[in-house]
Structure 1
Amino acid sequence: MNDRQEQKQRTIQSVDKACRIIRMLRELDGAGVTEIADRMDMPKGSVHTYLNTLKQNDIVCKTGGQYRLGFFLLELGEEIKHKNQVCQFAQGPLDELASETGELARLVLREQGYGVYLDKSEGKKAIETTILPGQREYLHYTSQGKAILAHLPESEVRKIIDKHGLPKQTENTITDPEALFEELAEIRERGVAFSQGERTRGLRCVSTAIHEPNGDAVAAIGVCGPTNRMRDDRFRKEIPEIVRDKANLIEINMQMAMN
């Protein structure tokens, strides 16, 4: 039995449906019983029961005939973020990274084969971004994601590829597994990962992995900016040195906290 089959067998259908309703409310930014029932092909009575249960547990709220996600989810998310060790030690270095480069600095954590944006800090020239804390991205088309992948066992990377694929975001996205493995080897050698319009055209990023005291690469810190500012020695030498320095500082702080 493979992992996917085992996971499917262990799924509790009622919990799965509740999670699907939550995701649908997020996608629709609120909806009524009838709309959810039609989209999920479920009886309206069943949908109402699920929504009422979620409401009693503060997961959703109701205004008029519309159900929306409740702020209790925000409370949970903030608590998870606050208790995460990487977040605890990354805020200062993240702010320094943004200040010293003038660009947008971001912190990404690995979870379930995705990169989850945990935090950001904006320098004086930082680009505007619509990415919110908690948003997930594929690992193969961001510099933070590739920095993490470069330090995972090849078998684990292949499992991630098998599960999520290598979807194309722009013409620069790496979609061939062997080409990706070649780049990951280069990233390990130089210590930083670059992305050049692989997720967003005209955007370049520099990142490096953050390792837990046990050596696991669990996150990445990086800087993003427009191509006209992220080029030549600044892109290839100056910013990588700053990024590596801030990642090292986070790792040292995490290690010292264990002593």
Structure 2
Amino acid sequence: MGTQTGGTIKSDETLLEILETLHSHERATLTTLADEVGVSKSTVHRHLKTLCDQRFVTKEDAEYVLGLEFLRFGGAARERYSFHRQSKAIVQQVADQTGEFVGFLVEDQGIGTFLYCEMGTEGVPSEARVGQNLYLHQSASGKAILAHLPADRREELLDEHNLLARTESTITDREELRSELTEIRDRGYATAHEEYVNGLKAVAAPAFDPDDDTLLGSLVIAGPSHRLRGERFDSELPDLVQGAVKEFELTISYS
């Protein structure tokens, strides 16, 4: 049995670190995993053997990759959001319209997670993908959510996660963030100027359940700064993303 430390089980923490490291590399050798996790090769090998036996990891020659068994769990996790099919449809539609990266973000335990993403024909490569996590204050999509959370919940999250910088432009001052969140609530959408990725700007709008006004998530359009500027950034995309959210909410009300 693994040793318990501070209410957690050390062996479980090691297992999750192995998976996180493997995910970040896409594929890795036993030596790489042991070096980066900071445990012995024998310990990593035991964990990998268990993961391989259960199809969560696959060994290809001398390297390990994540297994397809995760799809079963990931699919089940996404399906607990009753609106996930509608969010996929609106993401694809807006990506086709704009040619940019489009995503639908939800908040879970204070962290933003992309439920769906789509790269338009002009979209620039990025790390954003389905399941990608981010701190809410670091992006337009996250700020759109953060602005519409109950005030006590919002302050609780800021206390828990702090305002960590992702780039030099990330807002790390709480008063500055509060002021911007007020503006977001007033105008109905959020923007980000290279706050999550250098060279990228974004526009996002919150989405609500039309029956009870529950906050569901946010729809975001992101692209390179040289394309998201002027009238396109100031009015065209904000109007488009807010209109798309209204359409999304309408489809939910009739589903």
Asked if these proteins are the same fold (TM beyond 0.5), I'd say yes
Matched, 1:218 2:213: no
Equivalent residue, structure 2, for 1:183: 180
Output the aligned Cα RMSD. Answer: 2.5
What is the aligned counterpart of 2:134 among 132, 137, 141? 137
TM-score normalised over the length of structure 2: 0.84
Structure 2 residue ranges without an equivalent (≥5): none
Deviations for 1:198-217, whole angstroms, at most 9, x for unmatched residues? 12233221111112344332
What is the aligned counterpart of 1:118 among 102, 105, 115? 115
Identity over aligned residues, as a percent? 31
TM-score normalised over the length of structure 1: 0.83
CA 59–97 in structure 1, closer or farther in 2 if over 3 Å, else same: same
Higher relative contact order (CA 8 A, sep 6+): 1
What is the aligned counterpart of 1:77 among 70, 74, 79? 74
Matched, 1:16 2:19: no
Structure 1 residue ranges without an equivalent (≥5): 1-7
Q: After TM superposition, give the deviation of residue 15 of structure 1 in Å.
A: 2.7
CA 155–68 in structure 1, closer or farther in 2 if over 3 Å, else same: same
Q: Classify the secondary structure of the residue corresponding to 1:251.
A: helix
CA 91–38 in structure 1, closer or farther in 2 if over 3 Å, else same: closer
Deviations for 1:97-119, whole angstroms, at most 9, x for unmatched residues? 22333432221121232221232
Equivalent residue, structure 1, for 2:228: 230
Deviations for 1:178-203, whole angstroms, at most 9, x for unmatched residues? 11011001100100001112122332
Q: Classify the secondary structure of the residue corresponding to 2:252.
A: helix
Aligned residues of 1:94 and 1:121 also touching (Cα < 8 A): yes
Q: Distance in 1 between matches of 2:38 and 2:167?
A: 34
CA 12–216 in structure 1, closer or farther in 2 if over 3 Å, else same: farther
Q: Distance in 1 between matches of 2:158 and 2:185?
A: 19
Deviations for 1:123-169, whole angstroms, at most 9, x for unmatched residues? 44333334221111221121101000000122222222223222223
CA 51–142 in structure 1, closer or farther in 2 if over 3 Å, else same: same
Q: Distance in 1 between matches of 2:130 and 2:117?
A: 8
Q: Distance in 2 between matches of 1:204 and 1:65?
A: 40
Equivalent residue, structure 2, for 1:256: 254
